[in-house]
Amino acid sequence: MMDIPASVTQLLRHAIEEDLGHGDITSSVIIPEESEARALFIAKGNFILAGFPFAQLVFHLLDPTVACKTFQAEGAKVRRGDVLGEVSGKTRLLLAGERTSLNILQRLSGIATLTSRFVEAVSGTGTRILDTRKTTPCHRFMEKYAVRMGGGVNHRFGLYDGILIKDNHIEAVGGIRQAISLAKAGHHLAKIEVEVENLKDLEEALAVRPDIIMLDNMTIQDMAEAVKIAAGKVVLEASGNVSLDNVRQIAETGVDMISVGALTHSVTAADISLKIVQ
């Protein structure tokens, strides 16, 4: 099993407590305490699989003796009807972990699937698809993991591991040059990225040489012009209102990266069921 941070383990404990409360009253009155069963995770659609390590952990937190098997690799393309994995153990415990494990597996598989569509849409351009910090609170580790399973690349994980100067930073200190100069003086290890909204701001940013420039909500025409102006001097990232309808056009301007908030904030969960079998 992958190395899962303690914070994620604790999150899953809370998720189990949220659903289970003081006990599953349905199973307690219907299922004999000694009953054991085997249950299969079954795909009910076509998608990219992501999240089994977390789904398995749900059951192991309920009972370390629950046996878990996976039949498909993380990041694999699965088809409707495919058996993805199985869990076996006390029937009551399998039912207690069913919904929490499925909620996580379905959402992460949905993120991986949407990410793969964006990656496929820009195939051959050399442009990378990045995620953002627009994640479900406390689920960022899992959701960014799902992005990687879909072929995407993680942007900074949080505010602590990358300098990204945005419009509010620029407004607060009085300008792009001032913001970049302060960042360079204050931190010599992290790469510096700055957000610009037009070609004039791009020229101003280039003069003080940040490592990355984010082209925020620019038109396709302006992004193409920005690539010409930058001439490979800095890495260019496009961001803002990116969709499957326009991502190919954006990539063809020549930008190096495209960040897509929708990968994690506007995803449709994959359809997966857990079925007890004899």
Q: Which of the residues are catalytic?
A: 99, 134, 166, 195, 216
Sequence-distant (≥ 6) Cβ neighbours of residue 164 within 8 angstroms: 156, 193, 194, 195, 214
Pairs from 31-37 (Cβ < 8 Å, separation ≥ 24) = 31/91, 31/92, 31/95, 32/91, 33/90, 33/92, 35/90, 35/91, 35/92, 36/88, 36/89, 36/90, 36/91, 37/88, 37/89, 37/90, 37/91, 37/94, 37/276, 37/277
Cα–Cα distance for residue pair 216/218, rounded to 1 Å = 6
The tokens describing 56, both together, are 């398995």
